[in-house]
Structure 1
């Protein structure tokens, strides 16, 4: 699980990095502008944003990311305790909110809840009778395991994570390949074709002229 952490408090940032890196891959920055750049260049599973940072605020950052159809789940951490900031955080597209000071175990439980809700655990029941092992790249359907390629695994995980909406071919290309290695749209069609063999074509719908949606 890859986490982007935006936190300008150096002491808290060090504590969070040491703690989170025991279980997750963590990329940290103190800057809102740098966080935006990192989110454009990499694919993350979770954002953890402080509300106030020197060059902006996490709420504005998340609003901008959501305007680009970035649905990566986000947790805000903040020293504010008023309902106004809580309201603004959720209106910007936040999925959870934690107030300073907080216990690290509380953060763990909130992350685990996000993982369950968005199918980010290593074993995910993506549909009745179909279990997806994201770590070992195995789809088990009707008790029959089938290995899939790393890229197929990444594509299936992305489609499932964004299952409430249609995902365009361009979006899949941008999130699964580096810019200088990006193939043609045919590569996505090949991935989808192979994935349908593993999970069933009824679970990956082709929305003509728009893209694909996991059902």
Structure 2
């Protein structure tokens, strides 16, 4: 699991990185601009953002990411007591919120809850009979094992993580291809066709004029 940590308190950042790296892969930055650049260059499974950083704030950063259809789950950490920041955080697209000072185990439990909710564990049960190993890009049951291409695996995982909503072709294109390498909608249709062949067409439903929904 890859985490992008935006925290400008050097002492706290060091503690968090040392603690989290026992279980997760952590990239840490003190800068909002750097965090934005990193989010564009790499695919992260979770964002942990401080609200107040020297060159901006985590809430504005997350809102910008959401405007570009980046749906990576996010946890905010802050020393602010006012509920207005809590409201702003969730309005920007946050999934959880934790106030400083906090126990490190509490942060772990919040991360694990995000993992369960968004299907970030290594092996996911995607249908009553089929499982999906995210790391090996493999779908399997008691009788068969199919290895997906990297893009098929990424798209299936994305569908699963966003199974509560409709995902458009444009969103998939923006999340899995660089702008100058972006193919047409036919690439998404081909991936969806292949995934349906492996898991059953009833599990990826075409919502006319909007996109696809995983069921």
TM-score normalised to structure 1 length: 0.89
SS in 1 for 2:173: helix
What is the deviation of 1:117?
0.4
Q: Does 1:59 align with 2:59?
A: yes
Q: Residue 151 of structure 1 corresponds to which residue in structure 2?
A: 151
Post-superposition CA distance 1:130-184 (Å, at most 9, x none): 3211112222346643222222111100111122222222322222233444334
Counterparts in 2 of 1:210 and 1:96: CA distance versus 1, 3 Å: same
Distance 2:160 2:147 in 1: 18
Q: Residue 188 of structure 2 corresponds to which residue in structure 1?
A: 188
What is the deviation of 1:26?
2.0
Q: Which deviates further from its counterpart, 86-95 or 191-200? A: 86-95
Distance 1:191 1:130 in 2: 18
Distance 2:194 2:89 in 1: 39
User: Contact conserved, 1:51 with 1:77, CA < 8 A, in 2?
Assistant: yes
Counterparts in 2 of 1:60 and 1:168: CA distance versus 1, 3 Å: same
Q: Residue 110 of structure 1 corresponds to which residue in structure 2?
A: 110
Q: Does 1:79 align with 2:79?
A: yes
Distance 1:180 1:153 in 2: 22
Distance 1:190 1:92 in 2: 33
Distance 1:85 1:208 in 2: 38
What is the deviation of 1:213?
2.0
Runs of 4+ with >4 A deviation: none
Structure 1: which 5+ residue stretches go unaligned? none
Q: Output the aligned Cα RMSD.
A: 2.0
User: Contact conserved, 2:205 with 2:212, CA < 8 A, in 1?
Assistant: yes
User: Contact conserved, 2:6 with 2:50, CA < 8 A, in 1?
Assistant: yes
What is the deviation of 1:77?
0.7
Q: Does 1:29 align with 2:25?
A: no
TM-score normalised to structure 2 length: 0.89
Distance 2:108 2:120 in 1: 14
Provide the aligned length of Structure 1 versus Structure 2: 215
User: Contact conserved, 1:7 with 1:28, CA < 8 A, in 2?
Assistant: yes
Structure 2: which 5+ residue stretches go unaligned? none
Q: Residue 49 of structure 1 corresponds to which residue in structure 2?
A: 49
User: Contact conserved, 1:42 with 1:175, CA < 8 A, in 2?
Assistant: no
What is the deviation of 1:38?
2.4
Distance 2:180 2:196 in 1: 28
Q: Does 1:134 align with 2:134?
A: yes
